[in-house]
Amino acid sequence: MKIKQMLIYFYQVLKDDNNQIYDINGIRSKISSNAEKLLNVIDEKDQQSECIDEKIFSFLNFISGYDTPRYEDNTYLYNNIDLEREYDMLGNIDLLKGINLEI
């Protein structure tokens, strides 16, 4: 599967999930765990961070922490507004370096 497909999948699943309750067995936790695994795979393939756009790393880091309350406010879980903001920061996803890398 390509990185592009995974980013879109993570975004769509989390966008459809409106659950604002922390649940270690919930979809937020599963997607966050998958994003963290993807970050590790990308790190192994791209040791020098030369082939992958930093915006991809930024979005995946956000998703990997999506299931955890914010540091500043222990009761606040990220929501669709936060997700939309981070996804929009990717810009035109087709122009990102490494977006079509097969994982």
Residue type, 1: M
Whether residue 48 has pLDDT greater than 60? no
State the pTM of this model. Answer: 0.84
Q: Is 100 a domain residue?
A: no
Q: Is 25 a domain residue?
A: yes
In total, how many domains does the chain have? 1
User: What pLDDT, in 10s, does the model give residues 62-84?
Assistant: 999 888 776 666 667 788 899 99
Q: Is 11 a domain residue?
A: yes
Cα(80)–Cα(96) distance, rounded to whole angstroms?
23
Residue 43 — pLDDT band, cuts 50, 70, 90?
confident
Q: Is 58 a domain residue?
A: yes
Share of the chain above pLDDT 90, in %: 47
Q: Is 101 a domain residue?
A: no
Q: Is 103 a domain residue?
A: no
Q: Which of 2-6, 41-45, 56-60, 61-65 has the lowest mean pLDDT?
A: 41-45
Domain that holds residue 75: 3-95
Q: Is 60 a domain residue?
A: yes
Q: Can you read off the two tokens belonging to residue 38?
A: 């993807």
Q: Is 89 a domain residue?
A: yes
